[in-house]
Amino acid sequence: MSTRLWVVVPAYDEAARIGATLDALAAQTDTAFTLLVVDNGSADATADVVRAFAGRAPFPVHVISEPEKGVGCAVDTGFRFAIDRGARLIARTDADCLPRPGWVAAAREALDGGARMVCGRITARRDEHGPAGRAFFAGLVGLAALFGRLRPAHREDGYLAPYRMHAGNNMAITADLYEACGGMPRRPSPTDRLFLNRVRRTTTSIARSRTMVVENSTRRIRAYGVVRTARWYLDQGSGDLTPDPR
C-alpha cells in the first residue's frame, strides 16, 4: 500500500475519544495512506487504544511519543517523522475530530491537482451539542475568520497570499512546503494562525476545499464558556486556562 500520503493525529489523554476518530479514518473512501498518531505524553491508555486498532485497520498504523507538551510539538514531530519515512503529502486532524468519509480523497485531489496546501471546512460534531450549540460554533468560526481577514498584522508586506482562516485539525500540505516554511511552531495551542502565516510567506498555492470536511469537537465551549471561547478563537489566548482542554 502506498505510503506517499500520511495522516498525522496528535493526541493527549484521548483514550475515551480517539476510537471514534480512528473509526472515521477507517471509513474513508480513500484508505491508501499511512496513519501516524503522536502521543503527547498521555497519562491514560491512548497509545494502547491505537495499537489495538492497528490490528484491524485497513492501512498501516504507527504510534510514536512526543514528551514535549504542546500540540505544536506533537504535530511538528509527527510531520517530520512522516517526511523522514517517505511521505510526500501529509494531512492532519485531531484525536477528538471526525473526518467525513471523503476527507482523505478531497485532500489528495487538491494536492495532486497542484495545491501545495489545502484547508477544509469544519463543522460541529452532532454528538456533543444540539442545534443551538452547533449554530453558536458556526457563528464563532465565521467571526474568527472575519477578524483574521481584517486584522492589520495579517495584511502586512511580505505575505504572498491573502489571509483566510484555516483549522489545524483539517488541513493537508506537501512535504516540500512544510519544510520550506519552517514547519509548525513548537508551542501549545493556538498554533494555526502562526503556521498559516509561515505558509503565506512561502507560497501563493493555498487552496480551499468544501468537500474536505471535519466534524470538530465543541468541548472547548464547555471548558471555557462562551466569552473565553470567543477570545480563544479570536487569537486572544486561553488566559489562566489550559490551552488544550481535556
Residues 21-75: pLDDT tens digits? 999 999 999 999 999 999 999 999 999 999 999 999 999 999 999 999 999 999 9
Domains, the chain: 5-233 (3.90.550.10)
Residues in the chain: 246
Residues 108-148: pLDDT tens digits? 999 999 999 999 999 999 888 788 777 877 777 776 666 66
The count of other CB atoms within 10 Å of the CB of residue 87 is 24
Tell me if residue 48 falls in helix, strand or coil: helix
Cβ atoms 75, 49 nearer than 8 A = no
Whether the model pTM is above 0.95: no
Angle (CA) 225 149 78, round 5°: 70
